[in-house]
């Protein structure tokens, strides 16, 4: 068999590029708006944070293009899609409001707050890199339905669901753009002039927004005023940040440790999703690359951990290769360096970007179901639920705490540590369905330990912050042990009856 030549670029990479670029752009728009509204100056946001993250994105996307080349060569096929790389949306919000905001409030100094963010991000990358040691073992022992189900929960709530809301903020624009995306990327129909569907949707949506007056022309001048030169420069500010995190800001570790572990698990989940779609990457190598990429970004001013991105499946559906990944890294660096990202964040309405991310949500949830056995569908659904609670908690509990608590006192604790909760409940149900009650019992014990230490169902790390959850999981584990013995007894009785019937059959003969 002749060896294939895996291309650096193909036409489908254009769609993949725009989808991934818009994913990252949407996050960076949110980062810019949130940090500036908190009190961080534009000089830090556009001059340090975004260029630093762009360096991380460049490193990660180039490395994943390299991994795609290795996989294509190993399996001698051309239809390999590189993993996507970017900032995890849930992690981004945790760092924004759990690290950067309290750091600024406690110090009153944006420069110092930024350095604390650097320290937190560097430590987060270190945890993810170290997590690669156990990544393969976890991937081997966690059922696919639980991993993909938990990820589908993120996609449904934070990606597809929330961006569907944004789509309807400008109905005429959002609906038209979404229709183009569905026609081009789901139904895979050709676009006019053979344009990539994502690019065609962005152009039509943006022009339509300004034509019918849903976007003000002043946004263009405001956006262009942000164009400039923002060179990504190395900094040792993370060292000062780490020193503060180990002294005055020690309390932030209660947020950093679980969210860093979450990030490492999210990488594992996304790698598993791509394996289900046909591209089986080494999860250990991916986790190490994510951790190293995060730390490199920190050295250049970035304060948000990066990971294998949920958009990987969308790119696979688009039949992209590795060119979209390389192009995204290079273009993103240039766009951040010359202030184009700052300009685009002002010029392109969110309602134009949102439908592209709705597609990513659709593809991720669809992939979760299409990649598991039919009997495990309930486990996928169950694993998705905790992120529904996490979404409500994240978006509303701060400003509407009474409303959330009156709706249900279980929303907040279910949303705390949602990734762990989704993974474990999904795994438990898979084991129950497969009649592996001993594994379900072990999983319940793990859930009890995580609950007792504050990784789940608690606002911070700590011992026995609410023992009810731990007790509940332990009692549940005991129940599984009982069913294990009951099922074993039933199996033994059936085997005995079968042997007896065979003996009677022999006697009759």
The tokens for 353 are 């970007």
Is residue 407 included in any domain, yes or no? no
Helix axes 50-75, 283-299, angle to 10 degrees: 160
Specify the 3-state DSSP secondary structure of 458.
Answer: coil
Cβ neighbours around 468 below 10 Å, total: 10
DSSP string, 223-277: HHTT-S--------HHHHHHHHHTTTTGGGHHHHHHHHHHHHHHHHHHHHHHHHH
Six-digit token pair at 470? 């731990």
Are 316 and 461 in the same domain? no
User: 9: alpha, beta or left, given left = phi > 0 and alpha = psi -120 to 50?
Assistant: beta
pLDDT band at residue 131, thresholds of 50, 70 and 90? confident
Token pair of 275 as six digits:
């394996």
Question: Do 368 and 458 sit in the same domain of this protein?
Answer: no
- Report phi then psi at 320, rounded to 5: -70, 160
Secondary structure, 3-state, 154-183: HHHHHHHHHHHHHHCCCHHHHHHHHHHHHH
Clarify whether residues 38 and 136 are in a common domain: yes
358 and 466 fall within a common domain: no
Q: Is residue 287 part of a domain?
A: yes
Instruction: Give the count of domains, the chain.
Output: 2
Whether residue 84 sits in one domain with residue 180:
yes
The mean pLDDT value of the chain amounts to: 87
Average pLDDT over residues 366-380: 92
The whole-angstrom separation of Cα 391 and Cα 380 is 18
Q: Distance between CA 94 and CA 81 in Å, rounded?
A: 29
> Is residue 398 domain-resident?
no
C-alpha distances (whole Å) from 344 to each of 86, 223, 338, 406 are: 18, 6, 11, 40
Instruction: Show which of 372, 402, 421 is a domain's final residue.
Output: 372
Q: Examine the pLDDT at 350 and tell me if it is beyond 60.
A: yes
pTM score, two decimals?
0.74
Q: What's the pLDDT at 256?
A: 73
Do 418 and 353 fall into the same domain?
Answer: no
Considering the domain architecture, whether residues 83 and 164 belong to the same structural domain is answered as yes
Residue 260 lies in a domain: yes
Q: Who contacts 384 (Cβ-Cβ below 8 Å, separation ≥6)?
A: 149, 150, 152, 153, 156, 365, 422
Nearest residue to 416 (alpha-carbon basis) of 90, 102, 145: 90
Q: What is the pLDDT of residue 509?
A: 53
pLDDT at 492 over 80: no
Range of the domain at 135: 12-192+224-372
pLDDT in the model for residue 199: 82
361 in the same domain as 482:
no
Give the residue from 372, 399, 430 where a domain finishes. 372
Q: Is residue 160 situated within a structural domain?
A: yes
Q: What percent of the chain has pLDDT over 90?
A: 45
- Domain membership flag for residue 116: yes
Could you report the per-residue pLDDT of 4-42, keeping only the tens digit for each? 889 999 988 988 888 788 777 777 877 887 888 889 998
- DSSP conformation class of 48: I
Question: Does 282 lie in the same domain as 186?
Answer: yes
Asked whether the predicted pLDDT for residue 122 surpasses 60, the reply is yes
420 and 337 in a single domain? The answer is no
Average pLDDT over residues 216-242: 90
pLDDT in tens, 147-189: 889 888 988 988 888 889 989 999 999 999 999 999 998 898 9
Domain check: are 367 and 451 in the same one? no
Please say which residue of 323, 350, 372 terminates a domain: 372
Let me know if residue 133 belongs to a domain. yes
- Long-range contacts of 427-430, Cβ-Cβ distance < 8 Å, separation of 24 or more: 427/142, 427/143, 427/146, 427/379, 429/145, 429/146, 429/376, 429/378, 429/379, 429/382, 429/383, 430/143, 430/145, 430/146, 430/376, 430/379
Partnered with residue 306 across adjacent β-strands are 87
Does any domain span residue 277? yes
Neighbours of 179 (CB within 10 A): 13
Determine the pLDDT at residue 495. Answer: 65
Segment 418-442, tens digit of pLDDT:
888 999 999 999 999 999 999 999 9
Distances (CA, A) of 324 to 124, 287, 312, 449: 27, 21, 11, 42
Amino acid 133: pLDDT:
82
Assign 1 a pLDDT band (cuts: 50, 70, 90): low
pLDDT in tens, 58-85: 999 999 999 999 999 999 999 999 998 8
Residue 141 above 90 pLDDT? no
Q: Give the contacts of 79 (CB within 8 A, at least 6 positions apart).
A: 278, 319
Domain match, 358 and 451 both: no
- The C-alpha atoms of residue 163 and residue 356 are separated, in whole angstroms, by 9
């Amino acid at each position: 068999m002749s060896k294939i030549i895996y291309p650096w670029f193909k036409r489908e990479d254009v769609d993949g590029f725009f989808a991934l670029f818009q994913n990252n752009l949407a996050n960076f728009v949110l980062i810019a708006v949130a940090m500036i509204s908190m009190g961080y100056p534009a000089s830090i946001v556009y001059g340090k944070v975004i260029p630093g993250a762009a360096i991380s994105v460049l490193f990660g996307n180039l490395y994943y293009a390299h991994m795609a080349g290795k996989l294509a060569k190993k399996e001698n096929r051309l239809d390999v899609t590189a993993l996507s790389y970017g900032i995890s949306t849930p992690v981004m919000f945790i760092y924004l409001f759990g690290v950067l905001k309290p750091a600024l409030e406690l110090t009153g100094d944006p420069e110092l707050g930024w350095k604390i963010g650097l320290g937190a991000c560097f430590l987060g990358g270190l945890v993810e890199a170290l997590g690669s040691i156990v990544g393969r073992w976890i991937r081997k022992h966690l059922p696919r339905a639980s991993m993909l189900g938990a990820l589908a929960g993120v996609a449904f709530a934070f990606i597809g669901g929330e961006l569907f809301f944004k789509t309807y903020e400008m109905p005429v624009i959002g609906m038209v753009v979404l229709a183009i995306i569905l026609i081009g990327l789901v139904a895979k129909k050709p676009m006019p002039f053979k344009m990539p569907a994502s690019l065609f949707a962005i152009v039509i949506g943006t022009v339509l927004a300004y034509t019918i007056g849903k976007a003000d022309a002043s946004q263009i001048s405001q956006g262009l005023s942000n164009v400039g030169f923002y060179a990504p420069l190395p900094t040792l500010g993370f060292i000062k940040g780490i020193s503060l995190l180990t002294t005055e800001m020690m309390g932030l570790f209660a947020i950093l440790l679980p969210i860093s572990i979450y990030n490492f698990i999210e990488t594992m989940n996304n790698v598993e999703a791509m394996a289900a779609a046909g591209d089986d990457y080494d999860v250990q190598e991916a986790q190490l690359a994510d951790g190293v990429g995060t730390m490199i970004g920190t050295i250049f001013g970035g304060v948000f951990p990066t990971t294998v991105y949920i958009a990987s499946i969308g790119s696979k559906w688009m039949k992209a290769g590795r060119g979209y990944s390389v192009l995204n890294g290079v273009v993103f660096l240039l766009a951040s360096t010359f202030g184009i990202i700052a300009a685009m964040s002002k010029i392109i309405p969110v309602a134009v970007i949102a439908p592209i991310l709705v597609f990513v949500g659709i593809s991720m949830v669809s992939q979760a179901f299409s990649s598991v056995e039919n009997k495990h569908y309930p486990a996928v659904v169950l694993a998705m639920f905790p992120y529904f609670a996490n979404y409500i908690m994240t978006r509303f509990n701060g400003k509407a705490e009474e409303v959330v608590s009156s709706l249900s006192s279980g929303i907040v604790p279910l949303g705390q540590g949602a990734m762990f909760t989704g993974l474990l409940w999904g795994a438990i149900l898979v084991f129950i369905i497969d009649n592996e009650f001993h594994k379900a019992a072990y999983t319940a014990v793990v859930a009890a330990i995580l609950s007792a230490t504050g990784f789940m169902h608690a606002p911070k790390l700590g011992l026995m912050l609410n023992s009810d959850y731990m007790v509940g999981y332990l009692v549940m584990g005991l129940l599984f042990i009982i069913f294990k013995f009951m099922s074993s007894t039933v199996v033994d009785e059936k085997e005995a009856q079968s042997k007896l019937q065979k003996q009677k059959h022999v006697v009759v003969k």
